[in-house]
């Protein structure tokens, strides 16, 4: 009896072989079937009752191959509407299962290009605030398909900015097929929540309005992120040493880390958008288009966001986000402190407080300059190795 083809089989095949296949001639290459035909016969996907399609490109190899699951109720095409899609990073090191939007619709109708990018990202942010994630904290508001590389296509960045929520997989350590199916079932639940929201607000008699995306863009603009700048607070004398008086309870550190990571990524996304808006208002679309979330690419940069002043000078931004109010401790690494000290003329720490992803609101203040001067840093953790001595 032949082995049953699984979702994991396809994901592995693409991640292991795509880069080698790209070196071969595109036309007549039968390997392309792993994405163009096989997903349509894999029960793990067809059981969803959605329309299944895969792509390796049209006429030439795509930078980002994908497998899409379309619900015609909210997806006019892969270029307009909302889909679940497996996106393979350009280097085939990661795969994202993303609840995503059709980028081409924005690109073709909104100019300049930087405005189209802002609009699709604004819609993503708005929809994140409207969807119940059912307590799951490992969802990512950002995906990174390019890892800092530049390609002769804007599709990868369009996919990145159009992602609403995503689950990330490392190709070198894909989970079991059962886990992949469970994740897909969860994302289908999330997609169904989006469907209900879209149908409720942007349809007539159950059918989508022809201009529903335009209406959604308008509504998302009315729910722009509310970042309110406040004065730098004066810490209380015992703020760094305050002990909790609450009853001790067991802490789920994995869950707490996942939640903090999610909040941190969202905080970076908000500041990123704030910087783009600032530069756009200054008439520097060229610089707004270069603002980058460096922490998505690698941790070697020791800061989160690369931005610019109106004259084109680089600004290095470190973002620290919490849901708590004033007078709370935040954490910074030794390498971040050292980087800030060396680049103090261009360094800023954005401290986001009262972060509320549902209301799209937060308060913030900015510390500019040498962080060894602008903050009181106390060592609270140590790098350790076993102290084993020869006897």
The answer to whether the beta carbons of residues 250 and 88 sit under 8 Å apart is no
Same domain, 25 and 126: yes
Q: Structurally, how many domains does the chain consist of? A: 2
Same domain, 360 and 327: yes
Same domain, 107 and 197: yes
Same domain, 156 and 15: yes
**Global pTM value:** 0.70
Give the C-alpha separation, 51 to 49, whole Å.
7
Take residue 196 and report the two structure tokens written for it: 């209900």
Give the C-alpha separation, 11 to 93, whole Å.
11
Same domain, 170 and 286: no
Helix and strand totals (H; E) in the chain? 12, 13
Give the C-alpha separation, 259 to 137, whole Å.
5
Neighbour order of strands in the sheet with 226-229: 226-229, 361-368, 347-356, 314-321, 305-308, 292-293
Inside any domain, residue 101? yes
pLDDT the model gives residue 18 = 97
DSSP 223-291: T--EEEE-PPP---TTTTT----SPP----HHHHHHHHHHHHHHHHHHHHHHHHHHHHHTT-HHHHTT-
Q: Three-state SS across 239-256?
A: CCCCCCCCCCCCCCHHHH
Contacts of 347 (CB under 8 A, 6+ apart): 303, 315, 316, 318, 339, 340, 368, 369, 370, 371
The domain of 256 spans 225-241+252-374
What does each of the 391 residues of the chain score in pLDDT, given as a tens digit? 457 899 999 999 999 999 999 999 999 899 999 999 999 999 999 999 999 999 999 999 999 999 999 999 999 887 889 999 999 999 999 999 999 999 999 999 998 888 899 899 889 988 988 888 888 878 998 899 987 777 888 899 999 999 999 999 999 999 999 999 999 999 999 999 999 999 998 888 777 877 889 989 888 876 667 788 888 887 665 554 444 444 555 545 444 445 567 788 888 888 988 898 899 889 898 998 899 888 877 778 999 999 999 999 999 999 999 888 766 788 899 999 999 999 999 999 999 998 887 777 889 999 999 999 999 888 877 778 887 876 5
Inside any domain, residue 220? no
Same domain, 19 and 125: yes
pLDDT the model gives residue 244 = 44
Same domain, 197 and 229: no
Same domain, 156 and 230: no
> What is the end-to-end Cα distance of the chain in Å, rounded?
61
187: left (phi > 0), else alpha (psi -120 to 50), else beta?
alpha
CATH of the domain at 133: 3.30.920
Give the C-alpha separation, 387 to 391, whole Å.
12
Inside any domain, residue 379? no
Coarse DSSP helix, strand, coil percentages of the chain, rounded to the nearest 5 percent: 40, 20, 40
């Amino acid at each position: 009896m032949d082995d049953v083809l699984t979702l994991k089989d396809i994901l592995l095949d693409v991640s292991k072989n795509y880069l080698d296949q790209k070196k071969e001639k595109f036309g007549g290459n039968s390997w392309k079937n792993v994405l163009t035909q096989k997903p349509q016969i894999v029960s793990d996907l067809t059981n969803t009752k959605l329309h299944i399609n895969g792509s390796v490109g049209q006429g030439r190899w795509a930078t980002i191959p994908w497998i899409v699951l379309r619900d015609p109720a909210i997806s006019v095409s892969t270029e307009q509407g909302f889909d679940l899609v497996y996106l393979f990073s350009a280097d085939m090191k990661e795969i994202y299962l993303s609840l995503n939007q059709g980028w081409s619709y924005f690109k073709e109708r909104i100019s300049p290009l930087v405005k189209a990018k802002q609009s699709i990202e604004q819609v993503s942010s708005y929809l994140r605030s409207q969807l119940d994630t059912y307590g799951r904290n490992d969802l990512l508001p950002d995906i990174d398909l390019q890892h800092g590389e530049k390609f002769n296509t804007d599709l990868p960045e369009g996919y990145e900015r159009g992602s609403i929520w995503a689950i990330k997989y490392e190709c070198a350590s894909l989970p079991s097929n059962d886990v992949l199916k469970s994740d897909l079932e969860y994302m289908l639940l999330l997609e169904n929540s989006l469907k209900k929201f879209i149908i409720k607000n942007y349809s007539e008699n159950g059918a989508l309005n022809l201009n529903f995306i335009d209406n959604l863009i308008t509504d998302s603009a009315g729910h722009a992120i509310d970042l309110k700048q406040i004065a730098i607070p004066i810490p209380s004398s015992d703020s760094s040493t305050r002990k909790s008086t609450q009853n001790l309870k067991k802490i789920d550190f994995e869950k707490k880390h996942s939640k903090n990571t999610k909040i941190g990524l969202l905080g970076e996304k908000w500041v990123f958008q704030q910087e783009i808006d600032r530069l756009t208002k200054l008439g520097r679309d060229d610089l707004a288009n270069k603002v980058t979330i460096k922490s998505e690419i690698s941790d070697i940069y020791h800061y989160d966001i690369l931005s610019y002043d109106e004259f084109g000078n680089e600004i290095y931004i470190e973002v620290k986000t919490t849901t708590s109010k004033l007078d709370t401790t935040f954490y910074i690494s030794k390498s971040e402190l050292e980087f800030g000290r060396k680049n103090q003329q261009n360094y800023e720490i954005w401290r986001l407080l009262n972060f509320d992803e549902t209301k799209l609101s937060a308060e913030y203040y900015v510390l500019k300059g040498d962080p060894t001067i602008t903050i009181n840093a106390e060592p609270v953790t140590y790098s350790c190795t076993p102290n084993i001595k020869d006897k």
